[in-house]
Structure 1
């Protein structure tokens, strides 16, 4: 019983496997070295047994000057079938249906014809087959003077759709990664505006176009009505990609004319450019001397990789980190590129299907990803250097600003000293003289005028003294910041115009060494109190000045009229002066009205750390 069940399971697995495999049709091949055979002669040779079977459907002729004929004997299945020739670049193909006595040309297609002549819209050559009794199909394949690889299969519609979907998925993933890399390069170029990232974009873009051309998607979607360009697209985009690769490498690792490899690289770039130009102006030469051009492209490709490798070694000896990124990336591209080139040249052993189809593309993607890490490293280095430079510029600007403020303070002190010592003393003398005159003069009118003059001079003297103290708060130098503020509030309370309640915490340590800061703090507090006295009509004012570990906070609260005109409050000259001082010390100020009237002002100024 167990053996019977095992046989059933194996049978079911074989059925499932058969549903995903190609039909068991017979495929045969014959080489037409003179390229002169007719379909009738081909049929005779097939009947005579001159054809060789292709049991696996794989054929690698390498570089050839011959045409090849395929004969397909379809299976007896009634399911619709498709002959799939897995090569996107065949110059000419003729598809014949041969019955008992009749040979009919059904399709003529290839890269020499517009894409819409293909019977099935696919990057490969796909021909519908009707499984008829005693019918065979003849296919002429012409790719002389070029490298030829074939994978011939007969697939059902379902299997063909599944196969092409998988291949499209792989190409889509590779192309999607490439698009992301191009977008990343565009972001870097827009951000930094350096030609390195432009070369990177052009290199990846030309490589992408080469991928599309090589896989047949370019002819299918981009230039379907330009058969003359179908065969030129791959070598032209290959040449452009090599030039961009060299340009990008030189800028990426910082290679200059002083390098001994600069001139050889320049020569190789010129040869590649001339080769690409020759393809454009003399496309017939690509077909007549295709073996020469194929060898030239292989030589230029290897030369490009060798020059890049030795240039990187030169830079690595100079401790260039970017060269390490490039060396690792180029190693992957060299391995995959040589593998695929050898397969297409027909010099390899058994074909490796993935490498023969996606070798260079995979190497290009891996190389681009590694280079992207190198670009990101270079961008971060550039960003850090830029930030360091900006910090250095800001530091120098702050130093310059501090020197300007120190100069202002010195000038203010000089003016204050002159006002106090010169003008103040002179006004005091005048006041004394007038007082003496008043004591000796008996005329009533003169007495009144002289008395008024004395009052004016006394006012001038007080004003000059006030200006002097504002320009240079002498009390801070004599008694310290905290005592100077207390003295200011005490004098205000003595005037009986407003009751000032104050709380002062801290200011016992090194804060007094920050001369510019404490002088401006004194001026800010004095200006705030003056605003309360002049504009708020308040009877009480609470002021808190607190020194924290990392900042100084000032709070001014009154019971006055509050906010009547917000624009006037925040944009007045006095407030603007206060705001300018606070902004210089990177602080901030907030205004808020009280529910029962009055105004609350909060100020916070950070303290500089050592």
Structure 2
């Protein structure tokens, strides 16, 4: 075997020649020095050194990582010597862009080279929205203590109650310790780690909370002031703007972790609601409604209103599509959103310019809104090298937007106040002119009154003379009036007698033989005339209430009677043959009229054709009449047809 290899090597040497053999040998020598060193570098542990006179240290890429794609390793496995060389050096603050479903292990090896013993160090993992992060702290016996946190876990589980993830290192001078972080992500986080002493941690936390307190304090003041304006002025403008402020506060509380720390620490599921799309939708809808109302107070523009509601509809459809159906790329989504917002904004701005209203604060506030929308995606869009700046830059933008919108409202209030003052000036001038005209009219009226008074005095003297004549005439008129009164009483008596005779003649005519339906309709032309006749017939003797037997009543609709005692209302058709009939009453009257005539004998077909009723309807009512005749033993010769009308078959 060795002989075969020797022959092959000899053949290669002859083919390459001496020069090439020399170059090949030099390369092998260089590689023998370079490869072990680079291999050793790739497998060496990254150590963070804490030198003297430093109180904080930014950990950018000074740690190693291991991707647990199988999600099966424990801290005992990860910290073992067998895993020492399986960790890789970190070259990017995002660590990895893929494998979001796999746990990411981070190894921090820290060497404290300081000599100061009263410094305690903290490792801060910035980024509130990390899904789950577990810190493994080395114990003296070689085991690891575990502390878990994340926006999916209750806030009380944290060892250090702070909105960021902070871990006490217990690192003494000249000590070197290795710590592990197990991270579960929900998107490509840009990790930002800070090492701080206890003093630096307190200073940083106080400054951060102080600035955030100012931020939320100013927004709360603006919110309270606008609620006050709404309750005083009852204008929806001062309701839409607080909705926008509340949405921005909600967005900020969910972004910086203060909401989780102070408002919903035991309900981590609320953190999932702080999705940039939901908050962005509320912010945009509130801004569109506020912007429309803001423009409408300057100039009534139906066009602005129409495009505002169109933009609201398009934004809602885009949100539904992004959440349920087709998900656009975030850049495309932002561009479409800005276009939707720009349409009503441009039309509203044109309406303001046309009305010669120049509200620069309103324009710049709208520009800030565009920045807020863009920066709501700042965890995906890295506009700055500093991840903290990327994350918090949206806060001053929101702050500036709220302040500018407030200035716009103040300018509008000033504008409306000026309009009110101008209107008051015009009203005052109009009142002064009215007063001047009133004075002129009063002077003229005084002259006219004086002239009229003189004229009246002259007329009064004339009237005094004529009063005597009138008194004499009045005596004569009183005598004539007494005579006229007697004549009128006599005429009234004659009219009542004539009216009674006419009614009796009408009834007699109704009882005459041989009337056809057209003649009968002249007597009973409609339902009212039938009801009136039936009412007079029913209560011709005396009224008695069916409920309480009281004998006094008042007239009710459709010629009915209402009891004065119990208010029971009785219609004219109750307890009569015409109660609950389903065809015109005047036709029923004619059928009853014919049933009492011996000289008229119409068949059902003829009667149906004359009355334009169904044959069955005529037969049913005639059968009802026959039953009434049997019930009262009716005699056609002795009794009139109207007696059958008061028969109650129920």
TM-score range, shorter chain: 0.5 to 0.7
2:340 to 298, 307, 314: 307
Name the structure 2 match of 1:92.
Answer: 132
Equivalent of 1:374 in 408, 415, 420 = 408
Of 337, 358, 379, 1:344 maps to 379
Alignment correspondent of 1:237? 279
What are the Cα deviations for residues 213-260 of structure 1, in whole angstroms up to 9, with x where unaligned?
110000001111111111213444333222212222222234645677
Task: Report 1:175-214 matches (<5 A).
Answer: 175-214=216-255
Conserved? CA contact 2:94–2:190, under 8 Å: yes
Partner of 2:470: none
**In the alignment, is residue 106 of structure 1 matched against residue 182 of structure 2?**
no
1:270 matched to which residue of 2?
316
* Inter-partner Cα distance in structure 2 for 1:353 and 1:103: 34
Which residue does 1:248 correspond to in 2?
A: 290
Question: Quick check: 1:95–1:138 contact (8 Å CA) kept in 2?
Answer: yes
After superposition, the C-alpha distances for 1:163-208 in whole angstroms (9 at most, x for unaligned) are 1122223322322332233234334434433212211111012101
Cα shift at 1:119: 0.7
Q: TM-score, normalised by structure 2?
A: 0.53
- From 198, 209, 212, give the equivalent of 1:171: 212
Distance 2:288 2:383 in 1: 31
Distance in 2, Cα, partners of 1:187 & 1:25: 51
Q: How many residues align?
A: 397
1:38 is matched with which residue?
74
Per the TM alignment, residue 394 of structure 1 is displaced from its structure 2 partner at its CA by: 3.9
| Contact 2:127–2:164 (8 Å) recurs in 1 | yes
Q: Secondary structure at the match of 2:284?
A: helix
2:363 equivalent in structure 1: 327
Larger radius of gyration: 2
Asked whether the equivalents of residues 242 and 304 of structure 1 are also in contact (C-alpha less than 8 Å), the reply is no
As a proportion of its length, which structure holds more strand?
1
Q: Deviations over 1:374-424 (max 9, x none)?
A: 222222111122222233334434444554454443333223234457649
Contact 1:64 1:148 in 2 (8 A): no
Report if the CA contact (8 A) 2:376-2:394 is conserved: yes
The equivalent of 1:75 in structure 2 is 111
Q: Give the whole-Å Cα distance in 1 for the aligned partners of 2:70 and 2:369.
A: 39
Question: Cα gap change, 1:413/1:36 in structure 2, threshold over 3 Å: closer, same or farther?
Answer: farther
User: Which whole-Å CA distance do the structure 2 matches of 1:62 and 1:405 have between them?
Assistant: 89
**Structure 2 unaligned residues grouped into runs of 5+:** 1-49, 462-650
5+ residue gaps in structure 1? 1-13, 279-284, 428-610
Whole-angstrom distance in 2 between the partners of 1:47 and 1:15: 25
2:554 is aligned to: none
Bigger mean CA deviation after superposition, 373-382 or 154-163: 373-382
Distance 2:98 2:259 in 1: 23
The 1-side partners of 2:348 and 2:60 are apart by 58
Going from structure 1 to structure 2, the CA distance change for 1:414 and 1:177 (only over 3 Å counts) comes to same
Between 1:235-244 and 1:107-116, the stretch displaced more is 235-244
Q: Distance in 1 between matches of 2:128 and 2:66?
A: 21
Alpha carbons of structure 1 residues 399 and 392: separation in structure 2 relative to 1, 3 Å: same
Of 427, 433, 439 in structure 2, the residue corresponding to residue 393 of structure 1 is: 427
**8 Å Cα contact 1:268-1:304 kept in structure 2:** no
Give me the whole-angstrom Cα distance separating, in 1, the residues matched to 2:95 and 2:291.
35
SS in 2 for 1:393: helix
- CA contact 2:136–2:144 (8 Å) conserved in 1: yes
CA-CA distance at 1:210 after TM superposition: 0.9
Q: Give, in whole Å, the separation in 2 of the partners of 1:397 and 1:263.
A: 43
Paired residues of 2:126 and 2:192 also in contact (CA < 8 A) = yes
> Any conservation in 1 of the 2:128–2:165 contact (CA below 8 Å)?
yes
Q: Structure 1 CA distance, aligned partners of 2:88 and 2:218?
A: 44
Describe the SS at the equivalent of 1:88.
Answer: coil
Counterpart secondary structure, 1:18: coil
Q: Do the aligned partners of 1:329 and 1:371 also contact (CA within 8 Å) in 2?
A: yes
- How has the CA–CA distance of structure 1 residues 190 and 416 changed in structure 2, closer, same or farther, with 3 Å as cutoff? same
User: Is this contact kept in 2: 1:96–1:106, CA < 8 A?
Assistant: yes
- 8 Å CA contact retained: 2:133, 2:183: yes
Is 1:47 equivalent to 2:98 in the alignment?
Answer: no
Taking structure 1 as the reference length, what is the TM-score of the superposition?
0.57
Mapping of residues 399-548 of structure 1, within 5 Å: 399-419=433-453, 423=457
**Could you say if the C-alpha distance between residues 253 and 30 of structure 1 is closer, same or farther in structure 2, counting changes exceeding 3 Å?**
farther
Query: Could you tell me whether the CA contact under 8 Å between 1:25 and 1:154 is conserved in 2?
Result: no
Q: 16-25 or 81-90, which moves further after superposition? A: 16-25
Distance change in 2, residues 1:415/1:25 (3 Å)? closer
C-alpha distance in 1 between matches for 2:214 and 2:98:
31
CA distance 1:237–1:97, change in 2 (3 Å): same
Residues 1:271 and 1:90: Cα distance change in structure 2 (over 3 Å) = same
Q: Does residue 1:225 correspond to 2:260, yes or no?
A: no
Are the counterparts in 2 of residues 336 and 362 from structure 1 also a CA contact under 8 Å? Answer: no
Match of 2:23 in 1: none
336 and 213 in structure 1: CA distance in 2 versus 1, 3 angstrom threshold: closer
TM-aligned CA distance change 1:299 to 1:243, over 3 Å: farther
What is the CA–CA distance in structure 1 between the aligned matches of 2:439 and 2:384, rounded to whole Å?
82
Contact 1:91 1:112 in 2 (8 A): yes
Contact 1:84 1:152 in 2 (8 A): yes
Native 8 Å contact 2:371 2:397 kept in 1: yes
Kindly indicate whether the alpha-carbon contact (under 8 Å) linking 1:83 and 1:153 is maintained by their aligned counterparts in 2. Answer: yes
Are the equivalent residues in 2 in contact too, given 1:87–1:151 (CA < 8 A)? yes
SS at match of 1:119: coil
- Cα pair 1:340 1:359 within 8 Å, conserved: no
Task: Please give the secondary structure, in 2, of the residue aligned with 1:204.
Answer: helix
| Match of residue 141, structure 1, among 166, 172, 183 | 183
Distance in structure 1 (CA, Å) of the matches to 2:321 and 2:243 = 19
| CA distance 1:349–1:404, shift in 2 (3 Å) | closer
Work out whether residues 243 and 273 of structure 1, in 8 Å CA contact, stay in contact via their aligned partners in 2: no
Per the alignment, in what secondary structure is the counterpart of residue 74 of structure 1?
A: strand
